[in-house]
Structure 1
Amino acid sequence: MDTAAVTGLSFRDATDADVDALVALVESAYRGESSRAGWTTEADILEGQRTDPEGVLEVIRSPGSRLLTVERDGRIVACCQLEHRGGHAYFGMFAVSPALQGAGLGKVIISEAERQARTGWGADEMHMTVITAREDLIAWYERRGYRRTGRTSPFPYGDERFGVPRRAGLEFELLVKELG
């Protein structure tokens, strides 16, 4: 892990004033040519938007939901959604600036998200859904202790709020990790 890349991080809940910066961050990590600078790009399987200001505001303002914002030197460099769902928490909208990917930031952020879900909500599991075509990303989560469940749900074809698929047969798989 590149310790220089993960020092000086601060974590806070997003506010309405962060919406534009967070949309730009998420889009840069997953869509278009800029996303190819990192390894989390979905540009080969999806085009169009990954999120929009309304979706980000919904996460920020929803009861039992947080958009954990990560800053370094006063600049937003990463984010993730945490949602309290009874005995477990849901983890989503995870984005790290493409220029900073591969340096260990993701490991630090997901660990902090798990800690906050466990200590803040008493969550005993973290759940997330990942597009099954993203084998490299699923493998990364497995190395962090997440397990595949085999439980899938269809991609919302026709709902351009989530992107425009470039291929048929996309689906999400539920990944789960017990929080100790």
Structure 2
Amino acid sequence: MSSHPSATTVDAHRLNLGEAGFEVAELTAADIADYVELVSSAYRGEGSKQGWTTEADLLDGQRLDAPMAEAMLAEADSVILLVRDTRGRAVASVYVREPADGEAYLGVLAVSPLGQGKGVGSALIDLAEAWVVERWNAHAMSMSVINRREELIAYYERRGYERTGEVEPFPYGDERFGVPKVDDLEFVLLRKRLS
């Protein structure tokens, strides 16, 4: 990949991650097991408590399983970007969905606890935002974050995302998304204008 000034923003962001020793590629079926393990390590279980994105104090159980990941991969209107380190280990990922009325969606941003604090998550968000603008002509990005994750919401707010005032219910009773430890979970919707 060229770092020539005519390179697209998407390619420039890929290059920035590449210069830091990471490889970015679209998720394939061969990556599913690594992807599920990565997402689990970032959000659930004792290991996730090494990082600041853990949901382990709010939810038990799984965050994602192979059938769910395969269904996400099969969606015609979305892409999952996977970041691997120089040893081939999956260290970060992000899911983006094509715009509806110009607004793309960002979800399942995961950075391994071992990779947190190194700028990988921020670089991947930059890449995702550039991706939806340049590939899909998005003018905004939205996401949903669990309401009890104030530190995470504040992180996104520092990156230009704003609370919309809208909330969505948490899927209580559907253990594919975890087993809640508290009874007041819901999703806060955030949005950022991109262009």
Gaps of 5+ in 2: 1-15
SS in 2 for 1:37: coil
**Structure-1 residue corresponding to 2:58:** 45
**Structure-2 residue corresponding to 1:80:** 94
Q: In the comparison of the two structures, how many residue pairs are matched? A: 178
Match of residue 151, structure 2, among 136, 153, 168: 136
Partners of 2:63 and 2:174 in 1: CA distance: 11
- Give the superposition deviation at 1:59: 1.3
RMSD of the alignment, in Å? 1.6
2:163 counterpart of 1:148: yes
Partners of 1:103 and 1:142 in 2: CA distance: 19
Partners of 1:60 and 1:152 in 2: CA distance: 26
- Give the superposition deviation at 1:68: 0.7
Partners of 2:118 and 2:30 in 1: CA distance: 28
Output the TM-score relative to the length of structure 2.
Answer: 0.88
Output the TM-score relative to the length of structure 1.
Answer: 0.95
Gaps of 5+ in 1: none
2:48 counterpart of 1:35: yes
**Structure-2 residue corresponding to 1:114:** 129
Match of residue 67, structure 2, among 37, 47, 54: 54
Identical positions, percent:
49
Moved over 2 A (4+): none
SS in 2 for 1:102: coil
Match of residue 64, structure 1, among 77, 88, 102: 77
- Give the superposition deviation at 1:71: 1.5
